[in-house]
A and B are shown apart, each in its own frame.
Chain A
Amino acid sequence: MPPRVNTEKCDGCRAQDETLCVLICPGDLMALDTGSGKAYCRSERDCWDCMSCVKSCPHGAIETRLPYQLGYYPAKLIPLVGSNKISWTVVDIHGKVERFTFKTRNDD
């Protein structure tokens, strides 16, 4: 189940041949549905939950969900990606919110 594409927000990177998630996925698991012009995961079972697609999506249209047999609903982990910082917001199944913001790059 891992990558969940929000088809409302996904614009298939303007339906170019290779969206950013398709471009980046280490497992070649993301693909572009040429019909709808939206991205989707071709084989959720093979996802490693590395969240590269989540970080790469310019619209924050992708969310990683753990397989239910490993973790319960509705936990969320959502990044906000800056040029040299990233902020992760994690919401656990009891609704507890934690936020982590840190540098990802030294600005030289």
Chain B
Amino acid sequence: MKVTLLEKAHIDRSGCLAGGMDAINTYIKPNESAESLVRWSRAQAGGILREDLTLSMAALLNQAVEEWETWGLPVKKDEDEEYLARGRWDITIRGSEMKVILAEKVREYGCEVLNRVVATNYLLGGDRVTGAMGFGVRDGKFYVVRAGATIIATGGAAGLYKPYTNDGVDSHHQLWYSPFNVGTGYAVGIRAGAEMTSFEMRWCAVRTKDFNGPIDTISVGYKTPMINAKGEKILSEHYAHLGGDAAPRYIRANAPMEEWLAGRGPVYVDTRHMKPEQVKDLKTDYLNERPSFVLFLAARGQDVTEEPIEVYGSDPYIVGGHTMSGYWVDRSRATTLPGLFACGDVCGGVPNKFVGGCAAEGLLAARGAVSYLSSPEERDQVDDGQIKAEVERVFAALLRQAREGDGVTPREMEERMQRLMDEYAGGVHQFYRMNRERLEYAQKHLSILKEQTKYLIARDLHELMEAHEVIDRLDVAEVLVHHLLFRQETRWPGWQNRVDFPGVDEKLDCFVNSRRDTGTGEVQVFTRPYEQIVPGDRTKP
């Protein structure tokens, strides 16, 4: 079987693992089970997730990691050679070379890798996905890849909202999530009319202030409580009723905001009790995941045993590996478009899958795709019309630069979109808060921006890529705002906070899905019921 991999960057270091990874946060230890994982994850997600998908993923979680270890990925062990536990579901790895190790296998298994090729749309035969189209950032060629089955795994969407560090020339991309993951996977699905789920369940997280680095490393790994300016342990003192330190992630995400609003900011994770060797381990963990955080501490001249690490909310992301925004799929990870399978951050319904879960889903999607190939299907011809149209769409910005020499640069449009979303669709500067009127304002201006994309100009292939990044983000943002408008309640305070509907509405105890009409281009939003498989109180772990 021939497998072709389209990669926007280079598979050795692309995406959010570019810097590495320090932990697998979904490893099922002997005393745990798929069911207990569902219960925990369900509670973390406020009681809503696809239990069927979570269970099928759980079955493969450990297999992936254990295989990676045989490929050379170092996993921390305890004295009796067991994986060293870090949190309930977490084990520590030395993953600074993680993607490099995986990439070597990809090449070893003879997969055809097309690095530096940006996928821009699916190739469609009727309603079936029969491959993908894109352009080369290096060679400027237009690529048409025909495939019997297609798997989408491009990761989530960063850069929809303005990060709070975006006030200096060099810190525009101080994000937690990779700024190069722009939600292309969602966008191509939206444009092809795939059904999407739970975009309103945004991922906002407590991150180290300014650097926007991950803190589970600290809080999970080293039991460091979140405290406010008054020195109070926020979660245990203000959120005991919601589980205290074990409170769901959206509560934890919301907490710092509440503290600031209540005048008790800034907020810290208290590292002052840590022992020197713990600090060394902590920094080693960071060096495996986001090395530059260690540089950040050095640049602040900060000794964390004397000065706690300040934390704050990140800008919101759409990332199905943490929350559950993404394609609506079945157990085989088949999307609503025949021939298309989704896994990882683009695949919806399974929150808290993280790296391990994404890998497990990769296996599932691959199996789904293979079985789809074997099932007899008529292979209809691709009409060259769509290819011609796509070529025009893809290179439009270059042509405009050449012909008109004037227009809107991708950067200008990106900044407009990011400020719009930040201020009117509940960005970090608005403490994640939003209401109907502001969302409608955002909607109005997003449609103007989408109209304006025809004025985009690109002076080179890199800018052409940037142009498509903003185009894709606009498509994601549009659907996102529809979802946010639709859920007239506040189910996940940190993630989706409707000040005009502060409470939970039991009628909305379901999935909010959407589909963009490929004809009219208008987004229909609807609901799908919840199916509980694992018994028990869905809000309790």
Interface residues of A (CB under 8 A from B): 1-2, 18, 23-28, 31, 42, 44-52, 55-56, 64, 66-73, 75-77, 79, 84, 86, 88, 90-94, 96, 98, 100, 102-108
Contacts and interface: CB of A to CB of B under 8 A. Distances in A.
B300 to A, nearest CB: 6
Given A2-B170, A49-B292, A106 B13 contact: no
A102 B296 contact: no
Interface in B511-541: none
B15 interface: yes
Nearest to B158: A48
Interface residues of B, number: 54
Nearest to A2: B170
B322 to A, nearest CB: 18
B297 A27 contact: no
B137 interface: yes
Contacts of B233: none
Given A27-B180, A104-B96, A93 B72 contact: no
A50 B280 CA distance: 20
| Interface residue SS majority, chain A | loop
Contact of A92 (B18, B211, B297): B297
Given A45-B170, A105-B74, A52 B13 contact: yes
A45 B13 contact: no
Given A70-B165, A103-B74, A28 B210 contact: no
B61 interface: no
Contacts of B288: 102
Interface in B444-462: 462
Contacts of B292: 49-51, 64, 66, 77
B10 interface: yes
Given A50-B18, A92-B301, A75 B295 contact: yes
Interface stretch (B171-179, B242-250, B430-438, B494-502): B171-179
Interface string B82-124: 0000000000001011000100000000000000100000000
A16 to B, nearest CB: 13
Given A50-B290, A105-B73, 18 more contacts: A24-B13, A26-B10, A26-B18, A28-B462, A45-B170, A48-B178, A48-B180, A49-B292, A50-B13, A67-B169, A72-B299, A72-B301, A77-B294, A90-B294, A92-B297, A92-B302, A94-B301, A103-B94
A83 B62 CA distance: 27
14 contacts: A28-B462, A56-B13, A66-B296, A70-B174, A71-B296, A77-B298, A84-B72, A90-B283, A91-B298, A92-B297, A98-B283, A100-B283, A102-B288, A106-B73
Contacts of A92: 297-299, 301-302
Pairs of residues from A and B, 10 with the lowest C-beta to C-beta distance, nearest first: A71-B299, A67-B170, A92-B298, A49-B292, A75-B299, A77-B295, A50-B18, A75-B298, A50-B19, A52-B13
Given A50-B13, A77-B292, A100-B283, A71 B101 contact: no
B173 A48 contact: yes
A90 to B, nearest CB: 5
Identify the interface centre among B69, B138, B291: most chain A CB within 10 Å of its CB: B291
B14 interface: yes
B387 interface: no
B385 interface: no
A100 B293 CA distance: 14
B298 A52 contact: no
A1 B170 contact: yes
B287 A100 contact: yes
A79 B96 CA distance: 12
Contacts of A93: 298-301
B294 A47 contact: no
Given A105-B74, A105-B101, A72 B175 contact: no
A72 B280 CA distance: 22
Contacts of B391: none
Contacts of B170: 1-2, 44-45, 47, 67-69
Interface in B1-45: 9-10, 12-15, 18-19
B255 interface: no
Identify the interface centre among A2, A67, A70, A88: most chain B CB within 10 Å of its CB: A70
B473 to A, nearest CB: 14
A66 B171 CA distance: 8
B465 interface: yes
B74 A67 contact: no
Given A28-B462, A45-B169, A100 B280 contact: yes
Contacts of A79: 291
A100 to B, nearest CB: 5
A103 B27 CA distance: 21
Contact of B284 (A55, A71, A102): A102
